[in-house]
Amino acid sequence: MNKPDYTKLPEHIRRGMKLYVENGIPPGGFLAAVLENNLTEAYKRADIINIKEMGSIVDFIYNELPLDCWGSPNKVTQWIKIHNSF
């Protein structure tokens, strides 16, 4: 898999997404909700930019990220655990 193109995300969430994907650093509440596939919580936690860009964010996750790092709370927890088990 190629390295994700983080420029497809709103600038203010790029760092958090990169830290999560590449280092297993737990994301903030909004990103965690999106990665866990919790639409209601994601919208509750989103700022105005993320609300406007929700489609692009979901598209980024679907097309750019490994399947093992998103889709459910368990997958997010396991991704973090795997990266922090050393």
Q: State pLDDT tens for residues 16-58.
A: 999 999 999 999 999 999 999 999 999 999 999 999 999 999 9
Angle at 35 between CA 6 and CA 31, to 5 degrees: 65
Sort 71 into a burial class: Cβ within 10 Å, 0-12 / 13-18 / 19+.
middle
| pLDDT-based confidence at residue 2 (cuts at 50, 70, 90) | confident
Instruction: Parse the chain into domains and list their residue ranges.
Output: 12-78
Whether 18 and 6 have beta carbons less than 8 Å apart is answered as: yes
Q: State pLDDT tens for residues 6-18.
A: 999 999 999 999 9
Residue 85 has pLDDT above 80, yes or no: no
